[in-house]
Amino acid sequence: MRAELITIGDELLIGQVINTNQAYIAGKLTEIGIAICKMTTISDTSEAILSAFRDAWEKHDVVMVTGGLGPTHDDVTKKAVCTFFGTRLSPRAEVRANVERLLSARNAPWSDAAEEQTMFPERASPIFNRLGTAAGILVEDQARVFIAMPGVPYEMETMVSEQVVPLLSARMQGPAVRQRTLRTTGVSESVLSQDFGDIDAMLQGAKLAFLPSPTGVKLRITTEGMDSRLLDSRLNEIEGRIREKAGRFIYGIGEEELEDVVGRMLVERKLTIAVAESCTGGLIADKLTDINGSSAYFERCIVAYSNASKVTLLGVSENAINHFGAVSKEVAVAMAEGVRRIAGTSIGLSTTGIAGPSGGTAEKPIGLVWVGIADGSGSLALKFQFGHDRRRVKERAAAAGLELVRRRMLRL
């Protein structure tokens, strides 16, 4: 099944709002094997909407629309649906029941806007909106499905996952598709693909996409076939073969972030961590404390930006700073050991580097970062050379730090 997704709204066309609805819907449809071939964003005028409906309905099996279903004068989608399918609005009892339920739960009075929301295209079927008063609109013929939904993200997301995905899955004929994404860091696309050797032999008909970002490469495996029960076991097999070759670089699956994984591993092992950051400026602490329950393992972080704070707060020797420089293996190790000692944690982690865009020298260029770690079995520091963009150097150094903690716990 081939789909087009139409998102309606002037706020999208002037760049005021980032279109997250598209990615959400696309992700959900991809999971059930429906290919989105085109996404279109248009203004909330009848003319633009009808023209987009015509184009899409002619070329695709599934047309999904979001936006313009509210009760105000900007919201013209419901009327456009009537015009397009040659039908008209009339009161619909089940839609009214839902509006009444929602207003009463909010202690809100009945209004003209509420009345307007109970009107529904005669030829269409309503799609239940658990969180809002605008019903979704479903029009089907033998070959095609048309679905219009509200643009409010949480209403739309709930409607898609609870109503639309089951509805479309039931209509699916063609091959099912399953995908799995393995997340790596600290390794380049080219090294990964060298390590894999004969990729076709490894994949045996499945597809593998390399998706690089500044902090790592994601590996997306796609399997496709008529018998959906076989696909998960094929994904498992291929994941197993990828892990044989590159398992040490893989920190997570799907949406897992490195800090989620490191946090979970620390909890499982009953370990605690303290961080001493220079060039990352608090970013590692910020990431670790984004996780609910992080107070179980995150004890403290010292952002020791000045040399004086490295000496007084972390016990780094002035000698080491004078002799080796603040950006050096010796200072990185001393920072990690220092923060671990004063915080009394299982692990101490440190960063020191030159984030740029100024401050580099020939010997110590912008992007040079040392990441240090200390734990019960000793300490070490690793050297990295990142790019020139300040934020990107911080992001990459933070990922390198978290990854060092992960590998240390796994003795990789």
Q: Which of residues 356-385 bind its own copies (CB under 8 A)?
A: 356-358
The candidate with the shortest Cα–Cα distance to 197, out of 250, 251, 244, is: 244
Which stretch in 10-18, 92-100, 116-124, 402-410 sits in contact with its own copies by CB under 8 A? 10-18
The candidate with the shortest Cα–Cα distance to 324, out of 299, 352, 343, is: 352
Q: Which of 123, 269, 383, 391 binds its own copies (CB under 8 A)?
A: 391
Q: Which is nearer to its own copies, 139 or 366 (CB)?
A: 366
Query: Would you say 156 and 66 are in contact if contact means Cβ atoms under 8 Å apart?
Result: yes
Residue 143 one-letter amino acid: A
3-state secondary structure of 178: strand
Q: Count residues binding its own copies (CB under 8 A).
A: 74
Positions 301 through 320 that interact with its own copies (CB under 8 A): 301-306, 308-309, 312-313
Smallest gap from residue 202 Cβ to its own copies (A): 19
Output b/e per residue, 381-408; b: 16+ Cβ within 10 A.
bbebebeebbebbbbbbbbbbbbbbbbb
Q: Which is nearer to its own copies, 37 or 382 (CB)?
A: 37
The token duo for 91 is 């009161």
Q: Which of 56, 139, 275, 374 binds its own copies (CB under 8 A)?
A: 275
Positions 134 through 173 that interact with its own copies (CB under 8 A): 154
The token duo for 224 is 């496709």
Element (H, E) at 143: none
Residue 28 touches its own copies, criterion: CB under 8 A: yes
Residue 23 touches its own copies, criterion: CB under 8 A: yes
Q: Which is nearer to its own copies, 131 or 412 (CB)?
A: 131
Smallest gap from residue 35 Cβ to its own copies (A): 8
d(CA 123, CA 146): 12
Residue 346 touches its own copies, criterion: CB under 8 A: no
Which stretch in 120-128, 198-206, 234-242, 291-299 sits in contact with its own copies by CB under 8 A? 291-299
Positions 196 through 255 that interact with its own copies (CB under 8 A): 209, 211, 220
Residue 48 one-letter amino acid: A
Q: Which is nearer to its own copies, 90 or 104 (CB)?
A: 104
Q: Which is nearer to its own copies, 124 or 331 (CB)?
A: 331
Q: Which of 24, 57, 324, 384 binds its own copies (CB under 8 A)?
A: 24
269 φ, ψ (degrees, to nearest 5): -95, 5
Residue 103 one-letter amino acid: L
Q: Which of 82, 284, 333, 335 binds its own copies (CB under 8 A)?
A: 284
The token duo for 21 is 């609805």
Q: Which of 191, 264, 389, 407 binds its own copies (CB under 8 A)?
A: 389
Query: CA-based angle 263:269:275, to the nearest 5?
Result: 50
Look at the block and give the residue holding tokens 């005021």: 16
The candidate with the shortest Cα–Cα distance to 278, out of 384, 352, 185, 372, is: 352
Smallest gap from residue 251 Cβ to its own copies (A): 18
Count of CB atoms situated within 10 Å of the CB of 119: 18
Q: Which of 81, 139, 242, 343 binds its own copies (CB under 8 A)?
A: 343
Look at the block and give the residue holding tokens 């912008």: 366
Smallest gap from residue 237 Cβ to its own copies (A): 22
Q: Which of 299, 330, 337, 375 binds its own copies (CB under 8 A)?
A: 299
Residue 332 touches its own copies, criterion: CB under 8 A: no
C-alpha torsion sign, points 213, 217, 222, 228? negative
Residue 57 touches its own copies, criterion: CB under 8 A: no
Positions 79 through 108 that interact with its own copies (CB under 8 A): none
Query: Would you say 382 and 388 are in contact if contact means Cβ atoms under 8 Å apart?
Result: no
Positions 34 through 53 that interact with its own copies (CB under 8 A): 35-43, 48
Which stretch in 21-29, 61-69, 75-83, 370-378 sits in contact with its own copies by CB under 8 A? 21-29
d(CA 275, CA 337): 10
